[in-house]
Amino acid sequence: MKNNIFLIGTHWGDEGKGKVVDVLSAEANACIRFQGGHNAGHTLVINDKKFILHLIPSGILRDNVKSVIGNGVVVSVDALIAEIEELQTNGIFLDNKLFISQNCHLILPTHIAIDQARERKLGKKSIGTTGRGIGPCYEDKTSRKGIRILDLKNETIFLKKLEDLMEYHNFILKNYFHEDVIDIKIVADDLLTKFKLISQYIIDTDEFINDLCMKGGVVFEGAQGTMLDIDHGTFPYVTSSNTTLSGLVSGTGVNMSLVNYGLGITKAYSTRVGHGPFPSELSNDIGDRIGKIGGEIGATTGRTRRCGWLDAKVLKKSIRLNNLSGIALTKIDVLDNFNEISICVDYGEIDYESFSVEDLEFIELPGWKTSTVGITNYNDLPKNAKLYIETIEGLINTPIDIISTGPARDEIIQKINILDV
């Protein structure tokens, strides 16, 4: 039987999770998202065509894969329909391929309005959210006011719940943020109409997911990254879900004894989009150069990503928190033309007012100054690229089992087949 595995971003998101999930999905049976929402942007490049998935698991482009949106994901019906339609336009049909948990909480227009109003009010102290209503939706889930997809099945119950919740939201929008309110009837009619377009995909997923795991070959796909975790990240500059292993358990109901391998997705350098501390950030020409070569523009919001050297201290924390078995190191090709490459290995306390960090320590390694683009065999890598990879392995005491050498599907080194080990 094939392994069931999970993938989690080890830093601040955008590590290349989508690409690695797509590659591994070639031999998988199912791909499952467990947290976050359409704040995620997972990029797949297939035959020079770019697909950006926000809500639907990155295994969806493979005919052999069942894609499941687990109960821990927050769902915008508009974003979901837009994504389904885009896939269908590209000839990817979802019948008997896409399954969505009826327990997912719905992102309402008022969640989005509150998210954006709150950011405006915070001004310079804003979090730099994606403005997709993620935080307010998870707040309503935790305070037990939220509306789940299953509520849409009963019009009377849905209308009552929506009215209660949106009246509360509109009160806050009007009286606290001094913003426009949103018409409850228009939202109700819109959601009830659009539910008809997605109802065929809605199921009760927890038993379904465990049954899939009994058959093997399941890839659980994390969104965001460990340092954006609501509990373990750089709070308050985080997202509102558990992006770490606990989110996988609560967001699917999987029996963890069925999951055999955890893969951390780590970019060969670090990036962050949005505000908050970033100890190894390079606010200089080198950072700009990395960003330019790496195309570090947000897949969801189009914002420029901040860049810095690989933060090995964060990587160690991520391995510990997520019980990772191995790492996929992505975008190594972006570092092809640097004379020296540094790794941030340690620092003191982070000051959450100024975001400054004391006692930063780096190790510096020689660059390889040769193209690694498209290399598929570890032994074909230049000597100094191997030195870089093996230095990281030594620091983290964990194997780097996969190395990504370009955005396309075939640009990858798989030292082991993690679905089979």
Q: Interface residues for Mg ion in 351-390 (CB under 5 A)?
A: none
CB of 259 to ligand GDP, least distance (A): 20
Annotated catalytic, 42?
yes
Q: Which residue has the tokens 């990772």?
A: 324
In angstroms, rounded to a whole number, what is the distance separating the alpha carbons of residues 69 and 72?
A: 8
- Using CB under 6 A as the binding rule, whether residue 252 contacts ligand IMO is answered as no
Kindly tell me which residue out of 36, 41, 225, 406 binds Mg ion, with binding defined by CB under 5 A.
41
- Using CB under 6 A as the binding rule, whether residue 226 contacts ligand IMO is answered as no
Q: Name residues whose C-beta falls within 8 Å of residue 130's C-beta, 6 or more positions apart in sequence.
A: 39, 274, 300, 301
Q: Interface residues for Mg ion in 295-324 (CB under 5 A)?
A: 299
- Using CB under 6 A as the binding rule, whether residue 404 contacts ligand GDP is answered as yes
Annotated catalytic, 11?
no
- Using CB under 5 A as the binding rule, whether residue 407 contacts Mg ion is answered as no
- Using CB under 6 A as the binding rule, whether residue 135 contacts ligand IMO is answered as yes
Give the number of residues written for the chain.
421
Size of the residue set binding ligand IMO (CB under 6 A): 24
Residue among 235, 215, 48 nearest 135 (CA): 235
Q: Are 22 and 59 in contact (CB under 8 A)?
A: yes
- Selection from ligand GDP, ligand IMO, Mg ion, none that 274 binds (CB < 5 to 8 A by kind) is ligand IMO
- Using CB under 5 A as the binding rule, whether residue 14 contacts Mg ion is answered as yes
Among 11, 42, 111, 275, which one carries the catalytic annotation?
42
3-class secondary-structure state, position 383: helix
- Using CB under 6 A as the binding rule, whether residue 140 contacts ligand IMO is answered as no
Q: Interface residues for ligand GDP in 319-358 (CB under 6 A)?
A: 330-331, 333-334
In angstroms, rounded to a whole number, what is the distance separating the alpha carbons of residues 202 and 197?
A: 11
Residue among 55, 69, 12, 51 nearest 224 (CA): 12
- Using CB under 6 A as the binding rule, whether residue 318 contacts ligand IMO is answered as no
CB nearer to ligand IMO: pick between 23 and 273:
273
CB nearer to ligand GDP: pick between 50 and 185:
50
Size of the residue set binding Mg ion (CB under 5 A): 3
- Using CB under 6 A as the binding rule, whether residue 372 contacts ligand GDP is answered as no
Residue among 251, 221, 212, 217 nearest 101 (CA): 251
CB of 14 to ligand IMO, least distance (A): 5
Residue among 147, 142, 172, 143 nearest 161 (CA): 147
How many C-beta atoms lie closer than 10 Å to residue 81's C-beta? 13
- Using CB under 6 A as the binding rule, whether residue 306 contacts ligand GDP is answered as no
DSSP code string of 51-62: EEESSS-TTTTS
In angstroms, rounded to a whole number, what is the distance separating the alpha carbons of residues 420 and 325?
A: 14
In angstroms, rounded to a whole number, what is the distance separating the alpha carbons of residues 370 and 392?
A: 20
3-class secondary-structure state, position 188: helix
253: alpha, beta or left, given left = phi > 0 and alpha = psi -120 to 50? left
Kindly tell me which residue out of 61, 392, 407, 414 binds ligand GDP, with binding defined by CB under 6 A.
407
Q: Are 21 and 58 in contact (CB under 8 A)?
A: yes
Q: What mask of x and - would describe binding to ligand GDP in positions 39 to 78, judged by CB under 6 A?
A: --xxx-x---------------------------------
In angstroms, rounded to a whole number, what is the distance separating the alpha carbons of residues 313 and 345?
A: 6
Write out the residues near ligand GDP by the rule CB under 6 A: 9, 13-19, 41-43, 45, 295, 299, 330-331, 333-334, 404-407
Write out the residues near ligand IMO by the rule CB under 6 A: 9, 12-14, 39-42, 127-130, 132, 134-135, 223-225, 228, 239-240, 273-274, 299
Write out the residues near Mg ion by the rule CB under 5 A: 14, 41, 299
